[in-house]
Amino acid sequence: MSGRLPTHIEISGLIRAAEEQGGMATVLSKGERDAGTILVVTMYRGENGVLYERMPQLDGSRSFTATKTQAPEKPYEFSEYLIRRGTQDPDCWVLEVDIANAERFVAQSLD
């Protein structure tokens, strides 16, 4: 048996954590229920999106890393990237979190 938490339970926990911190979270795309990859998009009032993906680290751990930032002058590029990423990995979940202090949410909830 794997020590990994099923993805759908981890997503539920992230949604609750966002709500507890005064934010809102929405599942944009559902992936594989038990072992899907999680992508988390953080923003505040619908702007300044940052995509976090769980990436392997040198020490063997897998922590969330910012992999894409929304450019204010080209917001469509960010959306297109998310669509491409979902096409590459149909098992991935995309969770959007709109929260005032995204950095704090990431530090407390994702790592």
Task: State yes or no: pLDDT of 4 exceeds 70.
Answer: yes
Residue 24 confidence (pLDDT): 96
Please compute the mean of the pLDDT values over residues 86-101 and round it to a whole number.
93
Whether residue 52 contacts residue 82, with contact meaning beta carbons closer than 8 Å, is answered with no
Residue 1's pLDDT is what? Answer: 45
| Distance, C-alpha 19 to centroid of its chain | 15
Residues 6+ apart with CB under 8 A from 76: none
In Å, what is the CA distance from 33 to each residue of 5, 10, 43, 65, 74? 11, 10, 25, 22, 33
* Least confident stretch, 21-25, 41-45, 56-60, 99-103: 56-60
Residue 2: pLDDT over 60: no
Report which of residues 54 and 92 the model is more confident about.
Answer: 92
Average pLDDT over residues 9-13: 94
Dist CA 85 CA 102 (whole Å): 22
pLDDT category at 86 given cuts 50, 70, 90 is: confident
Which one-letter amino acid corresponds to residue 58?
L
- Residue 82: is it exposed, middle or buried by C-beta count within 10 angstroms (0-12/13-18/19+)? buried
Mean pLDDT across the stretch 89-109? Answer: 90
